[in-house]
Amino acid sequence: MSASALPSPALPETVTAARIGIGGPVGSGKTALIERLIPALQARGVDLAVVTNDLVTKEDAERLRRSGLIDPARVEAVEAGACPHTVIREDPTLNIAAGDDLEAKFPGLQLLIFESGGDNLASTFSLDLVDWWIFVIDVAGGDDIPRKRGPGVLRCDLLVINKVDLAPHVGVDLPGMLAEAARVRGAKPVAATNARSGEGVEAVADAICRAVLFAP
C-alpha cells in the first residue's frame, strides 16, 4: 500500500493542556504573581488550573483555594517533602500525576500552571514536566542577583523581576538591575512586575499566551 493510501491516524479526542512553571526563591512573589495572572488569563478566555509545590504543607494551594479567584477544585497541591526542585526537576512524577488528574477532571483545560515552592537560584524545571517556565526574583533580594548567573535566572524562558515598588526603599537601581538581567540572558526576555498592584502583569499574561497558547 502506498503511503498516500494509508488511513489517516485518528485525531486525539482531547488536546492536552499547555504546562508552564513558575519558580524562584522563597518569598519572591510567585503566589502573588499567580493571584494576578489568574484573572488576567481568565479575561483572555484561558481555561486554567494550578498545581502548587510546598515543602511539607499545602499552604500555597490553600491560599489560592481561599482566594475566590478560581474554583478550589482547580488547585492541587504536591508536598515535596524535600527541596522543591527535586519534584520539579529530578523526578517530576508527582507533579505530572497532579496535572493529569486536573486534565481528567476538567476536559477542555488549556493551561496548567505549576508553582514551585521557594528554592534557591539554582532551581530549574524539567522539560518533561513543563513546556515553558518563568523564574521570579525580586528587587529586595539585591540588584546583584542577575549578575550571580544562577541557572534559574539564565535558563528560564521569562525572567520576572518582581516587587519593583520596593526598589527605592532597598537602595536598588531598577534600570541597572533590568539592564544587567538583559545582559546575562542574551536574547531571552525579562519582565518587571509589582504583583501587589498588578503593574506589569498584563505583559506576563501576554507572554504566556504567545509562548504556549499561540495567541497572536
Binding site for ligand GTP (CB under 6 A): 26-32, 60, 117-118, 162-163, 165-166, 194-196
Residue number, 22 or 109, with CB nearest to ligand GTP: 22
Residue number, 110 or 194, with CB nearest to ligand GTP: 194
Q: Is 24 annotated as a binding residue?
A: yes
Q: Is 92 annotated as a binding residue?
A: no
Q: Is 26 annotated as a binding residue?
A: yes
Q: Is 25 annotated as a binding residue?
A: yes
Residue number, 26 or 104, with CB nearest to ligand GTP: 26
Contact residues for 121 (Cβ-Cβ < 8 A; gap 6+): 25, 137, 145, 148, 150, 151, 152, 153
Instruction: Provide the minimum distance between the beta carbon of 161 and ligand GTP in the complex, in angstroms, as a whole number.
Output: 10
Rounded (5°) CA angle 205-207-210: 110
Q: Is 30 annotated as a binding residue?
A: yes
Instruction: Provide the minimum distance between the beta carbon of 127 and ligand GTP in the complex, in angstroms, as a whole number.
Output: 22
Instruction: Provide the minimum distance between the beta carbon of 59 and ligand GTP in the complex, in angstroms, as a whole number.
Output: 8
Residue number, 63 or 155, with CB nearest to ligand GTP: 63
Q: Tell me the CA distances in angstroms from 195 to 32, 39, 164, 172, one per residue in order.
A: 6, 13, 9, 18
Q: Is 168 annotated as a binding residue?
A: no
- Residue facing ligand GTP at closest CB distance: 118
- Residue pair 69/35 in contact (Cβ under 8 Å)? The answer is yes
> What are the start-end ranges of the H helices in 19-58?
30-43
Instruction: Provide the minimum distance between the beta carbon of 124 and ligand GTP in the complex, in angstroms, as a whole number.
Output: 16
Q: What whole-number distance in Å separates Cα of residue 137 and Cα of residue 30?
A: 9
Q: Is 139 annotated as a binding residue?
A: no
Residue number, 25 or 146, with CB nearest to ligand GTP: 25
Instruction: Provide the minimum distance between the beta carbon of 48 and ligand GTP in the complex, in angstroms, as a whole number.
Output: 17
Binding-site residues sit at: 24-31
Binding-site residue set for GTP: 24-31
